[in-house]
Amino acid sequence: MSRYRGPRLKIIRRLKTLPGLTSKRPKHRNDSINRSSSRKISQYRIRPEEKQKLRFHYGLTERQLLKYVRIARRAKGSTGQVLLQLLEMRSDNIIFRLGMAPTIPGARQLVNHGHIRVNDHMVDIPSYPCKPQDVITIRDQQRLRAIIRKNIDLFQRDKLPNHLTFHSLQYKGLINQIIDTKWITLKINELLVVEYYSRQA
């Protein structure tokens, strides 16, 4: 299954808040109608929906997510937590969490176009796994710096996750450590995702 490129608000209405996909919020015309039409969610629907949240938030294909689940299963520790840590340490997500891009798709575009450097080496692969002590910088272009500055002013969170540090004057980010799962902004039950893939992984 390919990466989703359709209307993002359609996904938000179905799966609720996905900060990595879009910062927009759907406008509810009549909340009372929405509440009255809500039905009890079946157990067969919960796991696929949790899986879809991960896919759309991080911008993954079905094959990519399955690959990450398999890697997480082989690692030490809780499979669900390792899975989230793997996804959070992708280069496109790091750029998003630093505030350099408004969404993960926006961060992916910066990476794909070769604007991002990790430890002074150009990285153009959004899935590049960043590690503690990696230094994230941008190409030295005036126009690019203006875009990044605008994004930072608009989208950088008041408090960065504890695994990241950002030096605004140098446009430089530092990865201090592997992310603590309590700093993950996506509300998800990762164990249900692992259960969903248990027969495939």
Show me where the domains of the chain are located.
8-86, 89-179
Distance of CA 157 to the CA centre of its chain: 14
Distance CA 22, CA 194 (A): 25
Q: Is the pLDDT of residue 166 over 70?
A: yes
Distance CA 51, CA 61 (A): 11
Q: Is the pLDDT of residue 129 over 90?
A: yes
Q: Is the pLDDT of residue 31 over 50?
A: no
Of residues 197 and 13, more confidence is placed in: 197
Report the alpha-carbon angle 169-174-175, nearest 5: 160
What is residue 33's predicted lDDT score, i.e. its pLDDT?
37
Closest CA to 184 of 10, 11, 12, 17: 17
Share of the chain above pLDDT 90, in %: 40
Of residues 119 and 4, more confidence is placed in: 119
Distance CA 134, CA 111 (A): 15
CATH 1.10.20 fits 8-86, yes or no: no
Any idea which fold 89-179 has?
3.10.290
